[in-house]
């Protein structure tokens, strides 16, 4: 029934007359101003006016706004003055103005246990078997937290008894069978605290907080105190003075004087935790048994380690192999109290105190040699200090002989001997290093002389490469395009070959620098070396005729194929032939052949001439840079590095080049591994249909070279020109350019800055850039590629190479576009070659995907989201994908349709409208044109 209690007088007062008639089973009370709301079981909800003593009862009826059920279990009024009523079959809100109730649809037929509002204004509703609900008054949304076994332990037990928030704004949820939970607001998870963590009973009814920040819980096994700092529990039962261990639902209260009230099945409990004192508990502990390496130990044994019983032993010494033990202990407790735990700690091994198991055994294994102190103490949930130590045992584990003091003395002696030996070794090595440094110093001084010569010639070579380009390029153009007589053409070809030779001579110093610094990279391919030798000899024919020399050539009838770097091979044989012609008297013989089996076959090239013999002491010197032999048999310095470069390139090919002994000739012998000689057929078509409207932008500050490039490329492409990077950017903004060929050294804006701006601008980043320059050092090339250049061509250059590079870049991009169009599952991001293009396509794909079913979606809508004009957006799409924006939208819709068809979830007609087509027949026609198959066949 209902009782009125006076805590000051500590007595029950008589009830007002109307309240005496209430049904005895009362489950909820709430004071609302002048009113007292009283919830009963099956007898409806009652409202009592404290001033007028008027009692009004609300019961379930057929009226639409009546209370949903007569059994009320929770009443709560939030900060918005909303009165929530929870009952056996739902949740209601009381309408003060109309004196009726509104039912919450989400709770029809759900047993509501408790209602609570947290500090964030969220309403929490606890249900029986249906989990925990949370309501956000700001949005009106409900969220439910239910237990799912597959989600692990951090999901809530479904039988909720109450919700509580402590002074630290931590939200706690009590359950009937799952213990209680701390709600993690950040991760939306529940952290369980249950019997596995020391809670005496998993049925928790109510939670309250005392002034020290501890939680008090009413359970089916008495009252439990939970220390939030130590995570320790202290359980109070009938043995501590309670009338019963079983408490009740919705039965707790914290008074203003910190007094806590908890209702049980046999009255209620009242106490103030701030003045509550726990009686002291002291119990003795003794050790009862000792096991060493799982064998029992007793002082009665002859070889026992114990002189007396373990009951009285305070010190224990063990050998290093007997370093595992088990100790059993007994607690001599003769009272009826069992609300304590035994903790133990092995100083020197454990960092924290360990709670003992119920079998009263302490086990340690494989302890290292040393001194340990085993301590046991009492913990009763209220006190935890070193003063409560109950028992100690000092344990010494002796070290093995190799860790004894005598052993350490031996180790020290060996260490000193080792230090002395190391000192002698370091002294010897220091002398050796000094001698090596002197040798290296001498070599460095020797190399400084020819290094200065290389620097001089390479600087000059850089300056003459551009003029040499203007000689070579027009000459090649005339040979390839102009109609001339055979005699003139033959002379032009000789001029062209010797122009190439002049270019090779200027490059030799650069190549030698590369070989010296390991920067020369070979491009090994199977080559017809017979043809390369014949072409090289043709270049020297005028010189041999002029000097009246006899040139004897011995080549096999069948062509020889060797895996070589073409340019490097031509440099080697050109230097050998040139050296033979230069120093011969009347004849030069050249012989080439291949010997050995397929795997170990070798290519041999031998040159003989009747020049003066080279003395034995100078045979190795001739392969050093800047060394020549004069006719008076004296070693002199010169500018030639031909033989040094030839040997370096030969060694890069894993071959050898030597001067061999011969009776009447000067003989050089070149040997190279043949490698894989598989025939390789290279096909390239430099012709490009100008009708394709491919536009090339040429950027160079040299007007002659710019004019010549324009003249050569105009038959193949639409050509635009600019004198520097600044002008080129203006051209890009006005015209639709497909590729840029740009010099690096230019005024106002150089090629590096121009390339960086192109690749960082979303409108131009898709345009390939070829850098064309006389800067051939590695650093310049690395810088060019780092800022986004697509290719790099050195000056002087071959027009055929430039044309091939342009065609290759354009063809590769076209292949990527074709792959994207013809394959339904390949995305547009496969076409992107820069990060800017990839980000552009990703955003574009997302926009189209979001508006996939909108048939009225137009290009202006997309351009607006990119903050681009329609013309700029059209040019960007066309440049990246070679499609108009509308064509791209249609392709993405058809690819999405292909994905949906593969899933076989929807019919063809449904997919048609899902991807933005208004006509199934038109959709089928477009799908067949795009992928070569009808949708109904693709679905199969």
Sequence spans of domains, the chain: 1-110, 113-276, 285-403, 521-673, 690-807, 823-939
Q: Mean pLDDT over residues 140-153, rounded?
A: 79
What is the pLDDT confidence band of residue 424, given thresholds at 50, 70 and 90? very high
Coil/strand/helix, residue 900: helix
Residue 744 has pLDDT above 80, yes or no: yes
Tell me the DSSP string of 369-426: SEEEEEEEEEE-SS---GGGEEEEEEEEEPPPGGGSHHHHHHHHHHHHHHHHHHHHHH
What's the gap between Cα 60 and its chain centre? 61
What is the predicted pLDDT for the residue at 916? Answer: 80
Instruction: Kindly report, residue by residue over 862-879, the tens digit of the pLDDT.
Output: 777 777 777 777 777 777
Residue 518 has pLDDT above 60, yes or no: no
| Share above pLDDT 70 across residues of the chain, in percent, rounded to a whole number | 84
**How many Cβ atoms are within 10 Å of 116's Cβ, its own excluded?**
19
Residue pointed to by tokens 């709301």? 37
Homologous superfamily (CATH) for 690-807? Response regulator (3.40.50.2300)
Q: Mean pLDDT over residues 794-801, rounded?
A: 74
**What is this structure's pTM?**
0.39
Stronger pLDDT, 697 or 301, i.e. the higher one: 697
Q: Mean pLDDT over residues 455-464, rounded?
A: 66
Q: 521-673 architecture in CATH?
A: 2-Layer Sandwich (3.30)
Q: Mean pLDDT over residues 476-483, rounded?
A: 77
Burial class (CB within 10 angstroms; exposed 0-12, middle 13-18, buried 19+) of 821: buried
Residue 382 has pLDDT above 60, yes or no: no
Residue 703 has pLDDT above 60, yes or no: yes
CATH 2.60.40.10 fits 285-403, yes or no: yes
1-110 — its CATH code? 2.130.10.10
Residue pointed to by tokens 């080279």? 614
What is the pLDDT confidence band of residue 428, given thresholds at 50, 70 and 90? very high
Which CATH class for the 113-276 domain? mainly beta
List the structure tokens of 148.
Answer: 């799912």
Residue 902 has pLDDT above 70, yes or no: yes
CATH 1.10.10.60 fits 823-939, yes or no: yes
Instruction: Kindly report, residue by residue over 816-874, the tens digit of the pLDDT.
Output: 677 666 666 666 565 556 666 677 777 777 777 777 777 666 667 677 777 777 777 77
Residue 639 has pLDDT above 60, yes or no: no
Stronger pLDDT, 46 or 832, i.e. the higher one: 46
What is the predicted pLDDT for the residue at 685? Answer: 35
What's the gap between Cα 53 and its chain centre? 72
What is the predicted pLDDT for the residue at 298? Answer: 80
Backbone angles phi, psi at 725, to 5 degrees: -65, -35
Continuous segment of H or E residues that includes residue 939: helix 935-939
Q: Mean pLDDT over residues 445-467, rounded?
A: 68
Residue 932 has pLDDT above 80, yes or no: no
Q: Could you list the beta-strand ranges (E) of 543-614.
A: 550-554, 561-564, 587-595, 602-609
What is the predicted pLDDT for the residue at 114? Answer: 95
Pick the closest to residue 112 from 153, 160, 151 (CA basis): 160
List the structure tokens of 889.
Answer: 């939208």
Residue 636 has pLDDT above 50, yes or no: no
Backbone angles phi, psi at 562, to 5 degrees: -135, 145
Residue 521 has pLDDT above 70, yes or no: no
What is the pLDDT confidence band of residue 483, given thresholds at 50, 70 and 90? confident
Instruction: Kindly report, residue by residue over 527-549, the tens digit of the pLDDT.
Output: 899 999 998 888 888 888 888 88
What is the pLDDT confidence band of residue 939, given thresholds at 50, 70 and 90? low
What's the gap between Cα 192 and its chain centre? 33
Residues near 657 by beta carbon (within 8 Å), at least 6 away in sequence: 572, 623, 643, 646, 647, 650, 668, 669, 670, 671
Instruction: Kindly report, residue by residue over 59-109, the tens digit of the pLDDT.
Output: 999 888 999 999 999 999 999 999 999 999 999 999 999 999 999 999 999
Identical fold, 285-403 and 690-807 = no
What is the predicted pLDDT for the residue at 261? Answer: 93
Residue 617 has pLDDT above 50, yes or no: yes
Pick the closest to residue 179 from 141, 133, 233 (CA basis): 233
């Amino acid at each position: 029934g209902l009782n009125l209690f006076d805590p000051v007088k500590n007595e029950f007062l008589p009830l007002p007359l109307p309240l005496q008639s209430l049904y005895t089973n009362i489950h909820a009370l709430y004071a609302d101003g002048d009113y007292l709301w009283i919830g009963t079981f099956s007898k409806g909800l009652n409202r009592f006016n404290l001033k007028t003593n008027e009692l009004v009862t609300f019961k379930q009826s057929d009226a639409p706004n009546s209370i949903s059920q007569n059994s009320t279990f929770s009443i709560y009024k939030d900060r918005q003055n909303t009165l929530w009523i929870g009952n056996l079959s739902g949740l209601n809100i009381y309408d003060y103005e109309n004196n009726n109730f509104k039912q919450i649809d989400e709770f029809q037929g759900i047993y509501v246990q408790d209602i609570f509002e947290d500090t964030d204004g969220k309403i929490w509703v606890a249900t029986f078997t249906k989990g925990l609900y949370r309501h956000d008054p700001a949005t009106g949304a409900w969220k439910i937290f239910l237990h799912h076994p597959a989600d692990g332990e951090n999901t809530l037990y479904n039988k909720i008894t109450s919700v509580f928030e402590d002074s630290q704004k931590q939200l706690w949820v009590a359950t009937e069978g799952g213990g209680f939970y701390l709600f993690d607001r950040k991760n939306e998870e529940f952290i369980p605290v249950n019997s596995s963590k020391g809670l005496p009973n998993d049925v928790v009814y109510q939670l309250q907080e005392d002034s020290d920040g501890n939680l008090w819980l009413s359970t089916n096994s008495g009252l439990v105190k939970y220390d939030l700092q130590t995570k320790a529990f202290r359980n109070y039962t009938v043995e501590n003075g309670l009338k019963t261990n079983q408490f009740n639902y919705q039965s707790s209260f914290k008074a203003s004087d910190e007094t806590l009230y908890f209702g049980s099945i046999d009255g209620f409990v009242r106490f103030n935790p701030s003045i509550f004192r726990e009686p002291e508990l002291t119990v003795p502990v003794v050790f009862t048994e000792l096991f060493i390496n799982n064998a029992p130990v007793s002082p009665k044994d002859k070889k026992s380690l114990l002189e007396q019983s373990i009951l009285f032993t305070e010190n224990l010494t063990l050998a290093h192999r007997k370093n595992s033990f088990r100790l059993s202990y007994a607690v001599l407790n003769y009272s009826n109290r069992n609300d304590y735990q035994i903790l133990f700690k092995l100083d020197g091994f454990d960092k924290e105190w360990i709670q003992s198991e119920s079998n009263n055994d302490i086990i340690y294994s494989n302890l290292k040699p040393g001194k340990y102190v085993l301590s046991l103490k009492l913990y009763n949930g209220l006190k935890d200090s070193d003063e409560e130590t109950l028992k100690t045992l000092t344990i010494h584990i002796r070290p093995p002989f190799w860790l004894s003091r005598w052993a350490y003395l031996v180790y020290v002696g060996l260490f000193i001997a080792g230090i002395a030996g190391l000192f002698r070794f370091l002294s010897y090595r220091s002398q050796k290093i000094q001698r090596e440094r002197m040798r290296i110093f001498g070599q460095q001084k020797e190399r400084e002389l020819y290094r200065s010569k290389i620097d001089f010639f390479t600087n000059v070579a850089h300056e003459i490469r551009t003029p040499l380009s203007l000689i070579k390029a027009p000459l090649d153009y005339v040979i390839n395009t102009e109609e001339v007589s055979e005699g003139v053409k033959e002379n032009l070809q000789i001029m062209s070959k010797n122009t190439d030779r002049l270019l090779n001579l200027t490059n030799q110093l650069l190549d030698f620098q590369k070989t010296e610094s390991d920067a020369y990279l070979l491009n090994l391919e199977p080559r017809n070396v017979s043809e390369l030798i014949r072409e090289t000899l043709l270049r020297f024919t005028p010189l041999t005729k002029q000097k009246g020399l006899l040139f004897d050539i011995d080549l096999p009838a069948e062509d020889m194929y060797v895996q070589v770097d073409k340019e490097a091979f031509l440099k080697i044989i050109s230097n050998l032939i040139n050296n033979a012609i230069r120093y011969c008297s009347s004849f030069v013989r050249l012989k080439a052949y291949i010997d050995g089996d397929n795997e170990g076959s070798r290519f041999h090239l031998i040159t003989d001439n009747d020049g003066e013999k080279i003395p034995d002491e100078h045979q190795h010197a001739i392969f050093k840079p800047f060394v020549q032999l004069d006719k008076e048999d004296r070693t002199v310095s010169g500018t030639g590095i031909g033989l040094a470069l030839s040997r370096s390139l030969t060694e890069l090919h894993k071959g050898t080049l030597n001067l061999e002994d011969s009776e009447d000739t000067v003989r050089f012998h070149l040997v190279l591994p043949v490698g894989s000689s598989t025939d390789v057929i290279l096909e390239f078509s430099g012709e490009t249909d100008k009708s394709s409207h491919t536009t090339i932008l040429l950027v160079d500050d040299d007007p002659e070279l710019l004019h010549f490039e324009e003249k050569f490329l105009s038959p193949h492409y639409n050509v635009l020109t600019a004198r520097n990077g600044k002008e080129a950017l203006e051209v890009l903004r006005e015209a639709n350019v497909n590729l840029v060929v740009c010099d690096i050294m230019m005024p106002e804006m150089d090629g590096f800055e121009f390339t960086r701006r192109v690749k960082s601008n979303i409108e131009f980043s898709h345009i390939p850039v070829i850098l064309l320059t006389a800067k051939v050092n590695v650093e310049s090339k690395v810088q060019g590629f780092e800022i986004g250049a697509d290719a790099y061509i050195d000056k002087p250059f071959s027009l055929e190479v430039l044309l091939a590079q342009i065609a290759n870049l354009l063809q590769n991009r076209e292949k990527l576009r074709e792959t994207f169009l013809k394959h339904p599952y390949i995305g547009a991001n496969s076409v992107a070659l820069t990060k800017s293009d990839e980000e552009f396509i990703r955003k574009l794909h997302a926009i189209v995907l979001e508006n996939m079913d909108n048939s009225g979606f137009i290009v202006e809508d997309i351009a607006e989201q990119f903050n681009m004009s329609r013309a700029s957006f059209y040019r960007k799409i066309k440049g990246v994908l070679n499609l108009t924006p509308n064509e791209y939208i249609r392709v993405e819709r058809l690819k999405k349709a292909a994905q949906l068809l593969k899933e076989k979830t929807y019919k063809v007609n449904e997919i048609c409208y899902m991807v933005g087509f208004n006509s199934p027949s038109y959709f089928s026609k477009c799908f067949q044109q795009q992928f070569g198959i009808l949708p109904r066949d693709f679905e199969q």
